[in-house]
Every structure is written in C-alpha cells, then in structure tokens.
Chain A
C-alpha cells in the first residue's frame, strides 16, 4: 500500500516536473524525425552495384534475365551521385534487392570501397561460365561469403544462368539481410536510448532533487521503507519508458510487433537501467558530483548504438555492454519472425541483474540517503 501511494505521489510529482515532459518531448521529436525524414521506401531491399564484364551477347542475355526478374519488368535509367561524380546506371528493382548496373568498373569498386555497398563484377571465366567477383565489406558472415562462393563463383554454363536465378532467393534467408525498412531499423536504437538511458539519467535527477529538497529525510522517519521509496521512483521511470516507447513504436509499426513481449522487455530492461542508476546515485551527494560518472556510464551504454549504425565496427567486447542486448532484443521484438526466446532470455537476465543492483542500491541508500 505504501508503495502504491508513493508511486501515485511520484507520478503526480513527475507530472508537475519538467523531466517527464522532456522525455515525452524527446520521444515525439524522435517520432517526427522517423516519420518525416526517414524514407520508408527501402522495403527490406538492399542495394547491389554490378559491372558486367561480358561480351555483348552474354551481357544482353544477362540483362534480359534480370529484367524478367524486375518487379515491373522495366529497367529504369538513373543518374547516381558518387562523391562528386555523376554516374548513369540501369536500375532494376527485384523482390529483395535493388540492382544498379553500371558501365564503369571503377565506379562499382568505389561503391564497395567508399560507400560500403555490395559491389559485384560479373565476368566470363575461361570455361565460358560466369565468374562473380564480390567486393565484400569484411563484416559479412562466413556463411554469406560461402554462399556467394557456391552460388556465384562455381563454374556455370550459360544455360545454367536460368537455374541460378532460382537460387537467388537463398540469399534472403541468411546473413541477416535487412528485414526492417530504414525507419523501422532506427527504432531499436531510439527505444534503447529513450527507454533505458534516459530513464537512468532522469531517475538520478529525481533522487537528487528529493535530497536537495530534504524530503528524503521526511520520508526516512516514516514507517515506509527505503526500498518502497526507491521502487516508487523506478515505477515512474518505467511508466514513462513504456509511454514513450509506445509513442515511438505504435505509429511506425502499427499492430506488427509483439506488444506484450515489448512490455515485458521494457519493464525488465527499464528496471535494470533504473537500478543501475540508483547504484550510481547512491555514491554521490548531489548531481554535480555524480555528473562525471553519470556521463561516462551513459557514453559507454551508447557505444552499441554507435556500432549499430557503423557496420564495419563491431568489436566482440561491445556485446558485453547491456545496451547491446537491448538493441538486439528490440530488433527481435519488432521483426516479423523475431527470436522470442532471445528476448525472453534477455528479459530474465535484465530482471535478475536489476534485482541484484536494486538490492545493493537499497543496502547503500539505507546508510547514505539522508546524508
């Protein structure tokens, strides 16, 4: 009961303070950015840049083949911009890939080297088969590389071209191609940032505000416990986190995601982040003193977000940072056929780790809350 009343009071206070509205405001801004500035068009397709190093006849045949795979059976002449250069290309939109066929081998390779795109040079091998030279980024999985090898670099006769196009679909099943459009792809980092990281920071702000007002002391001489005080604050953070996450997810994803699972994970990861914030807060008297540590902690937690946008940088130790698991989980939650087991496992992990941190924070606060 005391916990419930404390929670209600915290909610009321939060509704009168600015932090709550900052959180909601940030969520709304993120949503607007997603809806207004991030194109949705890139439905699950990635780009590939091709140079056909083939004799005229073979080239025609090859293009004809692609054209037949094109969704509207039409090629499109486009002008691409690469650095300062203008490059003309034929664009084909296939079911799972956008192919740009260029007349300039160097430009294709530059796409691989400078723009981190998938670039392919198709040539004839001595036995009149097709030889595919893929310019990979180095971060593609071993599996994907092997598949490329098997499906493209094996020697095939001209007659087998047809056969291999049937194999193309194999690519979509592995190597984690983007199943999310660009807009959806931005959700996991936004959710991680908005829910957990903001929560951690704002929780610290709430506790320090109470300390400054001295109300913690008034609370300390009541029959309510420290853990109830702390938990009521965590509750408000979770409430805000759920609210802002729904603000972000619902308009972008509609009814797609698994909402119950989203709630479970938001609660678990939010609890973990709040408890982490409490532990940190318990070591400092006021927010000025805590700021350095808070800043470092948040920076560390943001690293996986940066890696998320930088495919070429994903060191193994990054996976040890909790926000990495948050990103992955949010991704699985909004994916159509996401890995629910992973999300539940991560939730359990966050819940357990959060409980340990919370107990530790409670233990510390019993001694230091009223200092």
Chain B
C-alpha cells in the first residue's frame, strides 16, 4: 500500500537532511509505526507521503499513486489526522465535518456518527474555537475517517491526550484496522507503538535504524537484558545490560568483578529500552 525508496528531504534545499535515505514498505491491512524522538523526521516523512510537502528525492507510491505528481483522486483513499489540530474555529464541530464531507468524490460518513465515535456528542453545535485542546484533537482525528480511507495517516494520534481518551483513540484505531484499513502512524510513545503496531521503524536523526515487529524485537532483545543493582561508593546504582552486545558484556563483567551486586534479573525488554539499545538515544 505504501512503498518508499531512498527518500531524502531537506527544508533548506541543501545537504542538511531532515529525512535521509529512508526506505520501507507498508503492506495492506498493516499498522505500521514510525517510532522516534521529537525532531527525528517522522512528520516530515508523513507529510511527504500525503503530498503536504513536495517530494524532493526518492520514490514514493501511496495506494498505487506516484507521489511525484500528485493526483487529487488519491485523497479519496487516504485520511490524515494532524499532530496539531486544524479546524475552522468559527464553525461548529458539525459544520466543520459537514463541509469536509463535500470535498471528496466518494461516499462519506455521517458527521454525527463520527462525533459520537470520538465522544463529542452534545458538543456538535459549539464553535470549535471554544473547544479544549483535547476536544479539537479528537475532532481532527474523527475528520480523518470521514471518507472511509483505505490508508490512514495518523501523526501522533494520542500525544497530549489524557490517558482515558488516548485509550479510546487506540481502540478506534484497532477497530478500523480490523475492518481492513491500513494504518501509518507516527509516535514517540513506545506504548502506542507496542500495543498498536504490527511493525515499527525506529527513526533517529532522519534515518531508519531498524524495522521489525515489536514481538520479534522483544524476542531478539528481551531475554538478553539484565537489570543489575550494585553498590558503588556507598550508593545503590541500577543499570541494564545486554548480554549480546559486546560492549555491554564487557561492562557487565567489570561490574560483577569490582562491585557488590545486590540484585540481578533477566527480563523482557520494553520497546523503549530496545530503542535505546539500538539507537543509543532516548525517546524524548
């Protein structure tokens, strides 16, 4: 459904790339996540895929359309929810959706249904400029489903939402995916990536470091991590070591040899820990 090959993008049109040699494929029906810290290039990539940014270098196909020359019909098949909500503040929630429906050539969903799905019923006749940030975000999210997209682009779908709403949003994404919708999402939240994604790409500084499913990542790294608590200079220190990476193994031997060990556990790694191990960077 999505095919990206050797994608580069520079905002300054020089060799300072925000996205560098990115390649990946997203299969039909898959939930594919871009996981990376802020500034990694996730939104840039997504904006190129949806035509908001001009393709500079590389080859991109979305739903069978070549992004080099955008065909408006492509937008009948994709939906996009934005990191920052963007609604007509002077129009009510329902008016926003009603107008948006008119901009597609395909059958669209009922505005009120969508409003109910994201829990905004009763608020449909309020101008969106009176909405809280979370409400605006939910409506922007709902709007992205309006044309029954085959491919659904979600930029940070739960960022800044309180946990209960974030969990509802996750449920909706899962449900749509069950109906066959292909999802491309970006996030810097490892729980989202872990719970929703069939596969994740770790992206740092505009480059993809790894693509795999959370499950096999955990299999590959999980049992091979050791949490060690030891005493150094009278203080208790806690550290996690990989038992496969050479550097970690050497450090672990040194720690065991020269300090008092208090506890030592092998464990299943979180995606975040794997991310740090692989990229050498945290997720914030």
Q: Pick the contact of A5 from B50, B76, B84, B103 — CB < 8 Å? A: B103
Number of interface residues of A (CB under 8 A): 23
Residues on the A chain within 8 Å of B105, using CB: 223
**Contact yes or no, A224 B53, CB < 8 A:** no
**Contact yes or no, B100 A222, CB < 8 A:** yes
User: Quick check: is B191 within 8 A (CB to CB) of the other chain?
Assistant: no
Please give the distance in Å from B164's CB to the nearest CB on chain A. Answer: 26
**Contact yes or no, B80 A221, CB < 8 A:** yes
Instruction: Enumerate the 7 nearest inter-chain pairs by beta-carbon distance, A residue then B residue, closest first.
Output: A214-B86, A222-B103, A5-B102, A224-B103, A16-B90, A223-B75, A370-B52
User: Quick check: is A213 within 8 A (CB to CB) of the other chain?
Assistant: yes
Interface string of B85-106 (1 = CB under 8 A from A): 1111111000100011011111
Please give the distance in Å from B144's CB to the nearest CB on chain A. Answer: 8
Nearest A-chain residue to B153, judged by Cβ: A221
Residues on the B chain within 8 Å of A218, using CB: 82, 86-87, 100, 140, 143
Q: Pick the contact of A1 from B86, B87, B102 — CB < 8 Å? A: B102
Q: Pick the contact of A17 from B76, B78, B87, B90 — CB < 8 Å? A: B90
- Take A5-B102, A222-B103, A225-B72 as given contacts and tell me if A214 and B82 are in contact as well, using a CB distance cutoff of 8 Å: yes
Q: How far, in angstroms, from A287 to B75 measured CA to CA in the complex?
A: 29
Contacts between the two chains (Cβ within 8 Å), count: 70
Residues on the B chain within 8 Å of A12, using CB: 91, 95
Main secondary structure on B side of the interface with A: loop
Q: Pick the contact of B82 from A5, A6, A217 — CB < 8 Å? A: A217
List 27 contacting pairs A-B, 8 Å CB cutoff, sorted by A: A1-B102, A2-B103, A6-B103, A9-B91, A9-B99, A16-B91, A17-B90, A213-B87, A214-B85, A214-B86, A215-B87, A217-B52, A218-B82, A218-B86, A218-B100, A221-B50, A221-B52, A221-B78, A222-B100, A223-B72, A223-B73, A223-B75, A223-B103, A223-B106, A224-B103, A370-B52, A370-B53
User: Quick check: is B54 within 8 A (CB to CB) of the other chain?
Assistant: yes
Main secondary structure on A side of the interface with B: helix
User: Quick check: is B51 within 8 A (CB to CB) of the other chain?
Assistant: yes
Interface string of A192-228 (1 = CB under 8 A from B): 0000000000000000000001110111111111000
Number of interface residues of B (CB under 8 A): 33
Residues on the A chain within 8 Å of B140, using CB: 218
Residues on the A chain within 8 Å of B143, using CB: 218
What residues make up the interface of B, taking CB atoms closer than 8 Å to A?
47, 50-54, 72-73, 75-76, 78-80, 82, 84-91, 95, 99-100, 102-106, 140, 143, 147
Max chain B CB contacts within 10 Å: which of A17, A215, A217, A221?
A221
What residues make up the interface of A, taking CB atoms closer than 8 Å to B?
1-2, 5-6, 9, 12-13, 16-17, 213-215, 217-225, 367, 370
Q: How far, in angstroms, from A224 to B51 measured CA to CA in the complex?
A: 13
Q: How far, in angstroms, from A86 to B76 measured CA to CA in the complex?
A: 79
**Contact yes or no, A215 B88, CB < 8 A:** yes
